[in-house]
Amino acid sequence: MPHILHMDASARPGIAGTDHHGSHSRQLSHHFVSQWQSRRACDTVTYRDIGQHPPSFISHDWIASAFTPEAQRKPWMKEALKESDQLVDELIASDILVIGTPLYNFGMPAALKAWVDQIIRAERTVGIDRNNPLDPYIPGLTDRERHAVILTARGGVNMAPGQAMAHMNHLEPNLVSALGFIGITRIHTIAIEGQEIGGDVLAQSIAQARQNVERLVRELQAAMQDMPTPEPV
């Protein structure tokens, strides 16, 4: 039975189409999860709103603790890593990671970057082979296949790979690199464009993105149909 970790990173608390100045990335991520659960109601979801409740930035204490072997950590070190451990545990437990995020100034929101920094952990999500200095890193989340669904919203247009403004989009490429580094390589991206243009450009982009979300849900569920859904009690 697949488990979904659903995260929203937008600074806007509302959902576009429902709330004034609502978030388009939240609209996509909630549409994905609602479509998923409408077909597989017994699959479980953990929700984390990092846009409204950002993870802590890593600190000197965090770094010192993370790079100290677990058996040698002092109580204050364990406390320094408590939040990170929870975030890592949530990620490890998931089969599908759904991230709703806007593009802010060419990259990811600070809250999402803080989450990335918290979950890339030596000996938890990435191993280090000290006998191979040229390529020492070993992805840690390879025990089973995991999928990441990155649902984005951006003000500009033509920012997808291969398009005219792709060189200004450092959001999806950064996430793909970070997630691949820890072993999540099945990554799917869908975007809404044209928020700053509005009108038909935005409306058409929203409609297309929602259709793409619905198609992706069907494709992923078909691929995961061998993961049984419990019968209702």
Q: What is the pLDDT of residues 193-205, one digit of tens each?
A: 999 999 999 999 9
Domain ranges of the chain: 3-223
Our measurement of the distance from residue 95's CA atom to the centroid of its chain's CA atoms, rounded to an integer in Å, reads 12
Examine the pLDDT at 226 and tell me if it is beyond 80: no
What's the pLDDT score for residue 232? 43
Question: Do 169 and 106 meet the contact criterion of CB atoms below 8 Å apart?
Answer: yes
Query: 10 vs 104, 112, 118, 121, 233, CA distance in Å?
Result: 9, 9, 18, 24, 37
Give the distance between the most distant pair of CA atoms in the chain. Answer: 59
Q: Find the mean pLDDT for residues 103-127.
A: 97
Give the number of other Cβ atoms within 10 Å of residue 4's Cβ: 21
Helices (H), 67-148: 75-80, 82-93, 110-119
The correct answer on CATH 3.40.50.360 for the domain covering 3-223 is: yes
Residues above pLDDT 90, as percent of the chain: 91
In the three-class reduction of DSSP (H, G, I as helix; E, B as strand; rest coil), residue 192 is classed as strand
**Mean residue pLDDT across the chain:** 94
8 A C-beta contact, residue 182 and residue 11: no
Supply the pLDDT for residue 228: 54
Mean pLDDT of 104-119: 98
Establish whether 56 is an annotated binding residue: no
Strand-by-strand arrangement of the 96-102 sheet: 44-49, 3-8, 96-102, 147-153, 186-192
Mean pLDDT, residues 60-64 taken together: 97
Using DSSP, state whether 209 is helix, strand or coil. Answer: helix
The closest of 98, 137, 107 to 120, measured between CA atoms, is 137
Instruction: List, in order, residues 6 or more apart from 36 with CB less than 8 Å away.
Output: 4, 43, 217, 221
By the 10 Å C-beta count (0-12 exposed, 13-18 middle, 19+ buried), 141 is classed as: buried
Pair 199, 210: CB distance under 8 Å: no
In the block, residue with structure tokens 């935005």 = 202
**Which structure tokens are listed for 172?**
């999806």
Q: Residue 10, annotated ligand binder?
A: yes
Q: Which residue has the tokens 């025990």?
A: 143
Type of residue numbered 56 = S
Q: Which helix (H) or strand (E) holds 181?
A: helix 172-182
Task: Report the share of the chain in percent with pLDDT over 70.
Answer: 97
pLDDT confidence bin for 224, thresholds 50/70/90: confident
pLDDT band of 17, cuts 50, 70, 90: confident
| Residue 34 labelled as part of a binding site | no
The residue-averaged pLDDT of 132-150 equals 95
| Helix (H/G/I), strand (E/B), else coil: 138 | strand
